[in-house]
Amino acid sequence: MLLLNRSEIEQLVDFDLSFDEITSAYIATSKGEVNLPPVGHITFPDHNGDCHIKYGHVKGDEFFVIKVATGFSNLGKNDLPNGNGILLVLSAQTGQVMAMMHDEMHLTDVRTGIGGAIGSHLLAKTTSEKVLIVGTGIQAEMQIRAHAAKFDQPLEFSIWGRDNLKAQSLKSRLDNSLKVSVVTDLEQACKQSDIIVTTTTSSTPFIKAEWITPGTHISAIGADAPGKQELMSEVSELADVIVADSISQCIDHGEIEEAATKGLIDQTAVQELGDILTNPKLGRKSDDQITLADFTGIAALDIAMAKIIWRSYHQAKGG
């Protein structure tokens, strides 16, 4: 059995290849080629934490993957990482454990960043330049790096966070070649942005519909478990095009959950990202439309990342 820790895994991640693999994973999911059982959730409200269990198998693959990922946002106060986790890779022929990848959430962070950038690139106006990142954690950083890598044109990033010092710290960690600023007025930043990417763990929606201008695209990343929500439900109602990484997951525990429950959106009109990747004409149809992509994270992406690490490891070993 192959055992890999985070530092070993970080050396094996191929960022460019990941875009292709993640895109293929979304398409395979929407085609029904991936067995994706319902996500398992355990919440720890006394410690502001949760645990996700995601697992699945792509038809024809030699292995399947089980991922356990945790997020305890209070740990940052004690200089401990907020997230942790592990991927188990098992043979689809024998059930034997083939690999244990103790990535400590790194692969989840990478694939989530790439997923958000794919969604923005697919649904935003082609002339988009101004990107607002809402949040200051590792996912905010990943979204900036992934968006910069995915878009052909240079982007201007603005960072907003409740803690301005954390926003400044994030800016200092980024490559000097990127154009990044820190903003303090969230309403004005939303109104002035072509793309808004939300990355917080908030359970209280705080972005208002009147802040969203025609033509804006929103990639909603943070609401990936029951009770989490960053956008007022009226934002979902306002959107002309709503896209989900997984329709069933997003309606059950994503950003659009409350809007769907209240009947503010037509659930039958929600489209899946993989379908639009196959046929982009199903997405944005004019520059003045408001588009929303809801990401809850699907196991197909974890499988894709596990494939990359598995192949990279064996290529490095010459086998």
pLDDT digits (tens, 9 = 90+) for 262-288: 999 999 999 999 999 999 999 999 999
Q: What is the pLDDT of residue 210?
A: 98
Query: Where is average pLDDT lowest: 8-17, 21-30, 124-133, 242-251?
Result: 8-17
Q: For the CA atoms of the chain, what is the radius of gyration? A: 19
Question: Mean pLDDT over residues 222-240, rounded?
Answer: 95
How far is 315 from 81, CA to CA, in rounded Å? 31
- CATH 3.40.50.2300 for domain 122-294, yes or no, is no
* CA dihedral over 196, 36, 88, 257, signed as positive or negative: positive
Has residue 296 got a pLDDT over 80? yes
Q: Which run of H or E residues covers position 18?
A: helix 15-30
Report the chain's mean pLDDT, rounded to a whole number: 95
Q: What is the pLDDT of residue 203?
A: 92
How far is 134 from 132, CA to CA, in rounded Å? 6
**Share of residues in the chain with pLDDT > 70 (%):** 98
Q: Rounded to 5 degrees, what are φ and ψ at 92?
A: -80, -5
Buried/exposed 291-312: b ≥16 CB within 10 Å, e otherwise: bbbbbbbbbbbbbbbbbbbbeb
Nearest to 62 by CA among 86, 32, 23, 90: 90
Please count the other Cβ atoms lying within 10 Å of the Cβ belonging to residue 220. Answer: 29
pLDDT band, residue 81 (cuts 50/70/90): confident
Q: What is the pLDDT of residue 273?
A: 98
* Amino acid letter for position 134: V
pLDDT tens for 17-27 read: 899 999 999 99
Query: What letter does residue 282 receive in the DSSP assignment?
Result: G
* Cβ atoms of residues 306 and 65 within 8 Å: yes
* CA dihedral over 219, 267, 209, 71, signed as positive or negative: negative
- The pTM (predicted TM-score) of the whole model is 0.94
Length of the chain: 319
Coil/strand/helix, residue 35: strand
Q: What kind of fold does domain 2-107+299-316 have according to CATH?
A: ornithine cyclodeaminase, domain 1 (3.30.1780)
Q: What is the pLDDT of residue 319?
A: 60
Please report, for the chain, the start and end positions of each structural domain, with discontinuous segments joined by +.
2-107+299-316, 122-294
* Amino acid letter for position 13: V
Nearest to 301 by CA among 149, 141, 120, 109: 109
Would you state the structure tokens that stand for residue 53, as one six-digit string? Answer: 């269990």
Q: What is the pLDDT of residue 108?
A: 95
Question: Mean pLDDT over residues 232-237, rounded?
Answer: 97
